């Protein structure tokens, strides 16, 4: 059994993961279950600091939504606007407006915190 201490490096992290795996089936309300809970909290803190997960950019999120539901860009016309606007937005030639973000969130359920993320646009000038 590992000494309970902060995870300071990758070796500590891997050792704690091994211990979590060993304790994974611990019964509720036992010292092993309590230890599992503490170790899991330590791992979560270490992972947040060393392996952050960044939200996708808004266009990637919209494209993922369409692809995962086997939908075409045309499906967005009723949400974003006409075909031209949809094309400009998805090709990163026009930014999402606040109204578009609201409609994408309310109609499609894409999280607003993802849709408001800054993202790059393609410059049309040659």
Digit-by-digit pLDDT tens for the chain (126 residues) are 778 999 999 999 999 999 999 999 999 999 999 999 999 999 999 999 999 988 899 999 999 999 999 999 999 999 998 999 999 999 999 999 999 999 999 999 999 999 999 999 997 654
Angle between the N-to-C axes of helices 10-23 and 31-50, in degrees from 0 to 180, rounded to the nearest 10: 150
Domain shared by 36 and 64, yes or no: no
Q: Residue 67 sits in which domain range? A: 58-115
| DSSP letter, residue 19 | H
Domain shared by 65 and 107, yes or no: yes
Domain shared by 65 and 111, yes or no: yes
pLDDT at 126 (0 to 100): 46
Q: Identify whether 89 is part of a domain.
A: yes
How many domains are there within the chain?
A: 2
The CATH number for 63's domain is 1.10.260
Q: Identify whether 3 is part of a domain.
A: no
Q: Identify whether 123 is part of a domain.
A: no
Report DSSP letters for 43-65, one per residue: HHHHHHHHS--PPPPHHHHHHHH
């Amino acid at each position: 059994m590992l000494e309970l201490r902060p995870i300071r490096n990758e070796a500590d992290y891997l050792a704690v993961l091994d211990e979590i795996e060993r304790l994974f089936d611990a019964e509720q309300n036992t010292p092993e279950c309590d230890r599992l809970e503490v170790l899991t909290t330590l791992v979560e803190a270490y992972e947040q600091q060393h392996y952050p997960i960044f939200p996708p950019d808004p266009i990637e999120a919209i494209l993922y939504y369409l692809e995962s539901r086997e939908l075409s860009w045309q499906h967005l016309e009723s949400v974003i606007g006409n075909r031209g606007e949809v094309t400009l937005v998805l090709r990163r030639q026009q930014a999402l407006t606040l109204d578009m973000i609201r409609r994408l969130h309310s109609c499609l359920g894409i999280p607003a915190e993802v849709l408001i993320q800054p993202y790059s646009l393609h410059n049309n000038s040659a």
